[in-house]
Amino acid sequence: MSLVLFWLFALVMLGFGAAVVINRNPIASALSLVLCFMGLSALFMSLDAFFIGIIQILVYAGAVMVLFLFIIMLLDLRAEKRRRMNHVAIVGGAVVALAFFLQIYFIVGQLSAAKQPFPPLAATKMDDVHNIGLLLFSNYTLPFQIIGVLVLVATIGVIVLSKRELR
C-alpha cells in the first residue's frame, strides 16, 4: 500500500466524516456517512482484511444506511432551522475534542511500535474468511451464540417499540 493511496482514502474518510457533522441537512449527512464508510472499507482492504472490508460495505453502506435514510424520510426531517446557538458550548466542545485528538497524537508519537512498518505476510494465499470462521466456531462459540440472542432480542424489541399504542 503506497503512502499516496493511504492518504487518499484517509482524506476521503475524514473529509466525509467531517461532512456528516457539519451538514445541516440530515439526508446529506447520511449520504456523506456512506462515502465515509467506503473510504474506511478501502483502508481495511489496504490492511489485507478483505472480509472485514466487504462486510463493512454490506452491513453499513447497505443495511444500516438504508435504515437511516428510511427513518429520515419517514419522519420528513428538513434541514434544521438556525437556532440560537450557545457559543460557549460550541467553543468548549471543540476545545475538548481538539485536546482529545492531541492526546492521541502525542501518545502514538511516543509509541515505539508505531514507527515500525507492517511485517510481511506469507506468500501463500491467505484465506481470511476461512481463518475468521475457524476462530468463530472454535474459540468464540459462546460469544457467537450470545450475539445471536442479542440480534433476536433486538428484533423483538424493535417490533415492541414500533407498535402503535406504546404503554
Partner 1 sequence: MVTLGHYLIVSGALFTIGFAGVILRRNIIIIFMSLELMLNAANLSLVAFSRFRVDPNGVPNFNAQVFVFFIITVAAAEVAVGLAIIVALYRARQTTHVEDVSSLKF
Q: How buried is 53 (Cβ within 10 angstroms: 0-12 exposed, 13-18 middle, 19+ buried)? A: buried
Residue 155 in grid coordinates = 428484533
Q: Which of residues 30-59 bind partner 1 (CB under 8 A)?
A: 30, 33, 36-37, 40, 43-44, 46-49, 51-52, 55-56, 59
User: Do residues 34 and 46 make contact, with C-beta atoms less than 8 angstroms apart?
Assistant: no
The identity of residue 164, as a single letter, is R
Would residue 82 be called left, alpha or beta, if left means φ above 0 and alpha means ψ between -120 and 50 degrees?
beta
Q: Which of residues 75-114 bind partner 1 (CB under 8 A)?
A: 75, 77, 80, 83, 89-90, 93-94, 96-98, 100-101, 104-105, 108-109, 111, 113-114
Cα(140)–Cα(133) distance, rounded to whole angstroms?
Answer: 10
12 near partner 1 (CB under 8 A): no
We find the least distance from the C-beta atom of residue 107 to partner 1, in angstroms, to be 9
We find the least distance from the C-beta atom of residue 20 to partner 1, in angstroms, to be 6
Site string for partner 1, 133-152 (x = CB under 8 A): --xx--xx--x---x--xx-
We find the least distance from the C-beta atom of residue 92 to partner 1, in angstroms, to be 8
- The C-alpha cell 449520504 sits at 31
In eight-state DSSP terms, residue 18 is H
Interface residue with partner 1, options 10, 12, 35, 54 (CB under 8 A) = 10
